[in-house]
Amino acid sequence: MVNKNILLCVSGGIAVYKAVALTSKLSQAGFNVKVIMTESAMEFVTPLTFQAMSRNDVYTDTFDEKDSSKIAHIDLADWADLVLIAPATANVLGKLANGIADDMITTTLLATTAPVWAAPAMNVHMYSHPAVLKNIDVLHERGVQFVEPSEGFLACGYVGKGRLEEPEKITQIITEYFSKRKERLLEGKKVLITAGPTREKIDPVRFFTNHSSGKMGYAIAKKAAEAGAEVTLISGPVSLSSTPGVTTIKTETAEEMYQAVMKYFHDSDVVIKSAAVADYRPVQTNEQKMKKKDGSLILEFERTTDILKTLGEQKKHQILIGFAAETEQLETYALNKLKSKNADLIVGNNIMTEGAGFGTETNAVTFFRKDGTAAELPLQTKDQVAEALISEVHHLLQERLT
């Protein structure tokens, strides 16, 4: 971890004493640590304590320029390899979520392009307040990664979730993060990924959809971000949390997903279409709930836009990857899709295989390539499948250079 720079933003709460220990643990692990403190944080611990632990100046005032040749908050924002807010109070999370910059910490947070992590610490009821939860969701969607608080006895006397995670655990998580970033196969590449199902409305209470959970697409987005890519994830309606470091755009219908994909497609280097998009939608939707009647019900459907085919027709420099979830004749259908959609790779899986269907934690897939070769992967976790796919994408990009 030598030469990795951690900017520790300490906001005001009783957990500030743990931030002192965290500074010590990070320094012992080999990180360069610089600390910014809020006025409230200084009510609990003096800046001198953090200076002694980090062996660096401590910053507390936006207008206190320690080096006249530099603007302090910009210099710190550029210096950091990772920015960690610990403890992250409800106040600082609210400010960051709403773009407020009224002190040294919030000004620096808006100026940095480094990954931002937050380790919340507050009263259990504050942590579960709708406003706080909304701010956390907003920050999640913007790529902020959260180190979840642990449960236990709180300074206020309550027992529950809200304790700042232990310094040893936070140090371990950060160390593992930088270890994984060593092999940055997609550094500098823009990757566009779709995930999950779509919903096609019939009336205010009914819609057509499928069993896709989005787990495979979200796993791919996570691994692509870890590989150094700038990742945009176009997601259908799923119950999954946004992926840290990934820009997530929520959609519902096939048309909404198509419009979102086309907005980002031309600037992308790699497009991975793992979403299960509806092929048809009702011709007519009802604004009021449909009432049951005697006899059968007939609904007329029309085709939705074939997103993968459209991308195949318009692609120029992009690597285009599609998915084929089949119940029979996997190779036949996958190879046909590879050709008809002008894709560079089709990831095929038979959803009838045990452990490889929608909603599972595992998958068994085959990579069908344009050169006629195929690579069959055994049943494994979706994270492992995603890692294998990222490696395959890397090879495809390298082939373009030769």
289 annotated ligand-binding residue:
yes
Our CA angle for 226, 228, 234, nearest 5°, is 75
According to DSSP, the residues that pair with 366 across neighbouring strands are: 348, 376
337 annotated ligand-binding residue:
yes
Nearest C-alpha neighbor of 278 from the set 248, 302, 261, 249: 302
31 annotated ligand-binding residue:
no
**Given the residues 156, 205, 352, 375, the one annotated as active site:** 156
Q: Which residues of 71-88 are buried (b: 16+ CB within 10 A; e: fewer)?
A: ebbebbbebbbbbbbbbb
Nearest C-alpha neighbor of 41 from the set 16, 73, 9: 16
Structure tokens at 162: 């809200």
Cα–Cα distance for residue pair 311/268, rounded to 1 Å: 11
Residue 262: HSE in the Cβ half-sphere, 13 Å Cα cutoff: 13
Question: CA Rg, the chain, in Å?
Answer: 24
Helix/strand/coil for 69: coil
156 is catalytic: yes
Which residue carries 């790699």 as its tokens?
Answer: 270
The H-assigned helical ranges of 56-119 are 72-79, 90-97, 104-111
279 annotated ligand-binding residue:
yes
Torsion angle defined by CA atoms of residues 8, 129, 139 and 391, in that order, rounded to the nearest 10 degrees = 90
323 annotated ligand-binding residue:
yes
Helix/strand/coil for 23: helix
Binding-site annotation, residues for CTP: 279, 289, 323, 337, 341
Residues marked active site are found at: 156
Binding-site annotation, residues: 279, 289, 323, 337, 341
